[in-house]
Amino acid sequence: MPTVTQDLNNLPDVQSELDGRGMPIQRVGVTDVRYPICFSSSESTQSTSGLWEVAVSLVREKRGTHMSRFLEVLSEFEGVQTLDTLFETCVQVKERVSAEDAFLKVQFPWFVEKTAPVSKRIGKLGFDVEISVSCGRACGTEVFIRVPATSLCPCSKQVSDFGAHNQRCELRLSVRFSDGEMISLEEMFRIAERSASAQLYSVIKRVDEKHVTEQAYSNPKFVEDTVRDLAESLNSDVRIEWFKCSVENFESIHSHNAFAEIISE
Amino acid sequence: MPTVTQDLNNLPDVQSELDGRGMPIQRVGVTDVRYPICFSSSESTQSTSGLWEVAVSLVREKRGTHMSRFLEVLSEFEGVQTLDTLFETCVQVKERVSAEDAFLKVQFPWFVEKTAPVSKRIGKLGFDVEISVSCGRACGTEVFIRVPATSLCPCSKQVSDFGAHNQRCELRLSVRFSDGEMISLEEMFRIAERSASAQLYSVIKRVDEKHVTEQAYSNPKFVEDTVRDLAESLNSDVRIEWFKCSVENFESIHSHNAFAEIISE
Amino acid sequence: MPTVTQDLNNLPDVQSELDGRGMPIQRVGVTDVRYPICFSSSESTQSTSGLWEVAVSLVREKRGTHMSRFLEVLSEFEGVQTLDTLFETCVQVKERVSAEDAFLKVQFPWFVEKTAPVSKRIGKLGFDVEISVSCGRACGTEVFIRVPATSLCPCSKQVSDFGAHNQRCELRLSVRFSDGEMISLEEMFRIAERSASAQLYSVIKRVDEKHVTEQAYSNPKFVEDTVRDLAESLNSDVRIEWFKCSVENFESIHSHNAFAEIISE
Amino acid sequence: MPTVTQDLNNLPDVQSELDGRGMPIQRVGVTDVRYPICFSSSESTQSTSGLWEVAVSLVREKRGTHMSRFLEVLSEFEGVQTLDTLFETCVQVKERVSAEDAFLKVQFPWFVEKTAPVSKRIGKLGFDVEISVSCGRACGTEVFIRVPATSLCPCSKQVSDFGAHNQRCELRLSVRFSDGEMISLEEMFRIAERSASAQLYSVIKRVDEKHVTEQAYSNPKFVEDTVRDLAESLNSDVRIEWFKCSVENFESIHSHNAFAEIISE
């Protein structure tokens, strides 16, 4: 316990003390940080609220890192962010605290404009995005999205004299791009929703409801079918170096969910 | 800041200080307390984990209440709890801290045994329960449950040449019983699920899937239909003094939900 | 089940059917709708993602309401929203479906600029906002915010020879304004955080950490103290007609939370 | 669309169809399944509610797996489960659907009895457990727990003339045991909480509050210190083959969290 009043201009730097336990730390930083972001997907630019994680690795000799600098980096943001500027920010974090590695992750909602299939009404549909960047001994960027859609059960359709159970499903897609390549958030969304029994729209009228009901009924898919169709699209896309994709059905005839996952080799 | 070491046998009681702001507090206590519970619904007795809130009102003169006593009350639990013993516990809380009112709330999962409609396979289905008790200037017990089921859209069925969109839905039901009456958690569950397009089961085989698919298709209901059918059952039940019921559809053709709510007069 | 192909220009309007159950529905609509919002608090204008609920009451004679129109209303949004335009939107919803009452609720994150107390570093701090509007037989607007802050325990300080347990707390504040009055989201935030042991900042350096640590230690408050201090501020503010306020401490020496709540008369 | 009524005794098995896409699926199954569990940690046996995920891998030739059998396996549970019986269940799942691999995961709350340090009051403290089992081409069992505790900031203590910010923290620990070894859930809990600034108790009186306040103040730790101390304990325990541990502080002077993570080599 300090017994005398501290000199404000010369406060001790406890984080910079030497550490004797001889143990490096793979990842240390701040998480659940809310900070605004204005992001450009190349198809659109949107201002929204981000949920951030900023971290670094810590060498065995140092007791702590200086986390206030991670917040300073966020507070210095100006203008429109892109995958490239987020990577540069990650490099900046690494340099600010002289770390060997830095990691940056941001989640935010994104809106895509959808046109109803028959009535042509236009509206926005929101989906979740998470971008993860790392630099240092390993460098890379991974983009993850969650896409809501409709799935209709082939078994239920086949065994029933009429009707077929269907439900909201969620397609999840993580992607690392090939060198120099990029796919916009909106295009990733479209690639994913094409694999489902039917797509969702924002504003739909009765003519659209008829259309999507019949479309789903004509296009029954197990989670296994949907995840395979999605993986097939991703496999054949030369812009994609690696992916992980999954589908989860919020089963209408169960209180639990069905899921399937494929990771590229 | 204390300047001398405190006498362990005579620590100051800061909560008991007088408060000069002249303001009573309606509710003060602990929340998000995890404590095990063994509860009897009268149809079954189940041991599980409860999430508790225990609170009292505070008169204008007192600075604080003694929350450690609320935890003592939970730690003294013995044997099987019922609606009656939970009410007695609430009274005990009120008396332990000499409050005018006490409030007790506990949430826990409950399992009901379900038999598949055709294959007769047996399995357990879980649902959420919340019991709220108050005593003092107002006394009462309220039981709330959430019941998963299937809903099928009448409009989609009517306008489509084949198929109909359907989805998981949740029926929510809060009930206060008439004097001397009680309805078991399992019976409340059955009352609720009867109002949906189709019920859920735990283990179902192909013959059951055919049955529930066709049942839902033959029994299309908007959220408005479901909530009215549920309210009708509750209105006609003399054991029920007051209710609030609602239905939420996790729409398969939307990324948002539809809901409807009726509160008894 | 339809046996012939429907005429697209003349699809049946199932929602408009008459209902014979003779039961009005207090609230029916859509919830968990994500739609962008650009809002002006009068102190700042921010673009972000909203989570919406739009509902109406339904008379006993009508089977259903037309929920697609609620989405149309959201999709027609243009320009900057305020408390006034949200009320107008609510009126518009009521009229579009000829209902007696309409209800509109939107949640979104809001950012306030904070200047660290000693280093004067500037950064943004995010908090939750929820605006609820109703029109029809009852009209009103309620603004709710959640404000993170620090609380330090007076009992722990008093009984301990050194130190005192402290923790993050959350102040919650619902307000209805007096006729013709308004308080900006930022001012509501400042009113709330003043009642805590210490405020939070976005970017803080060691000199600021010293400041807020000592400030909290010099300003110990139970949840009872904090909620009374907040209620006192609100009571004496003529711009406020009604309020409900509460405080929850994420206790550092417990795995549960402490809370207190005061509702204005 | 079926045109004639199906023969109930001879419904088509759509899942067993051949699949021509030539793509194996790493993981397919059910998730978010609630089912009761009675588990023995070897120190205690507790009945509670589990949240289950049951999955298998699927060969390229088969269109789908038979998920209803996963629910049958859960519904056949009898008696007390252990790490060993959960592994046997996983093997059984694999065999029931003739898969190459099976995966089983269950989360449940667990309660440990704690005695307050001075008053010796006894009460239960709840924490989260997740057990993951896999069998087939790779076999293994991983036990994960979340342990709430108190952390106190060394920098805040050092720079401040009095007081120090502290907060609830969570230690997370995933462990794979060496051949033939096992550590009870309760012992894992004790290993974790020892690394924090102070432990939590269920029921505490003023004398205990003084004790833990002073203990935390005398034992300041960054997330970096806590995770290194925990990793040191785990490294030196021959019963542990592999671990991943992390600490997250719900910072009292921030609205975001600090975290640190170490994975064993």
Whether residues B212 and A165 touch (CB distance < 8 A) is answered with: yes
Helical residues (DSSP H) of C30-184, grouped into ranges: 68-75, 83-96, 154-159
Mean pLDDT (whole number) for A144-155: 98
Inter-residue contact D42 to D92 (CB < 8 Å): no
pLDDT, tens digit, 9 for 90 and up, residues A14-50? 999 999 999 999 999 999 999 999 999 999 999 999 9
Range of weakest confidence among A73-77, A243-247, D81-85, D136-140: A73-77
Which pLDDT belongs to residue B151?
98
Q: What is the mean pLDDT of chain D?
A: 96
Contact D46 B34 (CB under 8 A): no
pLDDT of residue A4: 56
Three-class secondary structure assignment of chain A: CCCCCCCHHHCCCHHHCECCCCCCEEEEEEEEEEEEEEEECCCCEEEEEEEEEEEEEECCCECCCCCHHHHHHHHCCCCCECHHHHHHHHHHHHHHCCCCCEEEEEEEEEEEEEECCCCCCEEEEEEEEEEEEEECCCCEEEEEEEEEEEEECHHHHHHCCCCCCEEEEEEEEEEEECCCCCCCHHHHHHHHHCCCCECCCCCCCHHHHHHHHHHHHCCCCCHHHHHHHHHHHHHCCCCEEEEEEEEEECCCCCCCEEEEEEECC
Nearest-by-Cβ selection for B123 from D75, D109, D207: D75
Which member of D15, D162, D256 has the closest CB to residue A30?
Answer: D256
> What is the pLDDT, as a whole number, of residue B244?
98
Query: Does C161 contact B5 at a Cβ distance shorter than 8 Å?
Result: yes
Q: What percentage of chain B exceeds 70 in pLDDT?
A: 98
Collect all residues from A whose CB is shorter than 8 A from any CB in B: 125-127, 148, 150, 152-153, 155-156, 159-168, 198, 200, 204, 206-207, 209-210, 212-214, 216-217, 250-255
Question: Which whole number is the average pLDDT over B182-210?
Answer: 97
Residue B35: list chain D partners with CB under 8 A.
111, 124, 126
Q: Which tens digit of pLDDT belongs to each residue from D166-218?
A: 999 999 999 999 999 999 999 999 999 999 999 999 999 999 999 999 999 99
Give the pLDDT confidence score for residue A77 in this predicted structure: 86
A: neighbours with 3+ CB pairs under 8 Å? B, C, D
Say yes or no to pLDDT of C1 above 50. no
pLDDT in tens, C164-198: 999 999 999 999 999 999 999 999 999 999 999 99
How far does B141 lie from chain D, in Å, by closest CA? 25
Q: Strand pairing partners for C169?
A: C149, C249
Say what percent of chain D tops pLDDT 70.
98
Q: pLDDT at position B9, please?
A: 84
Tokens for C50, please give them. Answer: 């909203």
The string of pLDDT tens digits covering residues C65-123 is: 999 999 999 999 889 999 999 999 999 999 999 999 999 999 999 999 999 999 999 99
In the predicted model, what is the mean pLDDT of residues B239-260?
98
Q: Is the pLDDT of residue A3 over 70?
A: no
Give residue B123's pLDDT band: very low, low, confident or very high (50, 70, 90).
Answer: very high
Residue D243 reports pLDDT greater than 60? yes
pLDDT digits (tens, 9 = 90+) for C111-123: 999 999 999 999 9
Q: What single letter denotes the amino acid at residue A127?
A: F
Residue keyed to tokens 């994709």:
A245
- Tell me the mean pLDDT in the region C146-164: 97
Q: What is the pLDDT of residues A67-100, one digit of tens each?
A: 999 999 999 988 999 999 999 999 999 999 999 9
Tell me what pLDDT residue B1 has.
Answer: 45
Which residues of chain B approach chain D closer than 8 Å at the C-beta?
1, 6, 8, 11, 13, 34-36, 46-49, 68, 71-72, 74-75, 108-109, 111, 118, 121-126, 162, 202-207, 210
pLDDT digits (tens, 9 = 90+) for D26-68: 999 999 999 999 999 999 999 999 999 999 999 999 999 999 9
Indicate yes or no: CB of C75 within 8 angstroms of CB of A203. Answer: yes
Chain B neighbours, 3+ Cβ pairs < 8 A: A, C, D
With beta carbons under 8 A apart, name residues in chain D contacting C253: 150, 198, 200, 204, 209, 212-213, 216
pLDDT band, residue D9 (cuts 50/70/90): confident
Contacts of B71 in chain D (CB under 8 A): 123, 202-204
The arithmetic mean of pLDDT across residues B110-124, rounded, is: 97
The shortest CB-CB distance from B217 to any of A163, A209, A255 is to A163
| Whether the predicted pLDDT of B235 surpasses 70 | yes
Closest among A157, C19, A126, D80 to B225, alpha carbons compared = C19
The answer to whether residue B4 scores a pLDDT higher than 70 is no
Q: Which residue of C has its CA nearest to B251?
A: C30
Contact D228 A21 (CB under 8 A): yes
Mean pLDDT (chain A) is 96
